[in-house]
Amino acid sequence: MEASKVTVDRIDVNVHKGAHPRIGAVDVIPFPPGVGPRRGRVRHAGQGIRETPPGRVGVLVYFYENTALRLDRHHLEVICKSQIEALRQGIVFPERHPDVGEPKLHPTAGSTVIGVRRFLLAFNMNQNSTDIGIAKEIARRIWGSGGGFS
């Protein structure tokens, strides 16, 4: 969790730009099954987030996948789809309130998502083009949410 504190201290999402959906500097903290704490312990850690490095600076938390407290937050892409820009405005609505913390984003670090989840295989690739549409089409075809690999 010390890495979370360093990240919160060094990344300002207000000036960060990118194409990858994100809702905060410490965007996602995943725990694959059998690695790290189990579901109940992750929820307990989230409830006590005010005592952990991200919480000491007021980062709010959403739970996902096997740790989700709400069915509509099971899938990570549902939580992150709005990205931080839309979350800033939507957080006032009860359906966008965090699972831990007040419905107010950290001014520079945003929020974080934490959970016990299935194993994830991810890869990055370089594209020899400035056409972001190509990258989005590749992602759509291979992501589980787009009908690709789950």
Q: Among all residues, which ones are annotated catalytic?
A: 20
Tokens linked to 84:
């931080």
Beta-carbon contacts of residue 111 (< 8 Å; ≥ 6 apart): 23, 24, 59, 60, 61, 62, 84, 87, 98, 101, 105
Beta-carbon contacts of residue 86 (< 8 Å; ≥ 6 apart): none
Query: How is 80-101 classified by DSSP, letter by letter?
Result: HTTHHHHHHHHTTSGGG--SBS
* Residues paired with 115 in a beta bridge: 30
CA atoms within 13 A on the CB side of 134: 7
Beta strands 111-116 and 28-31 are parallel
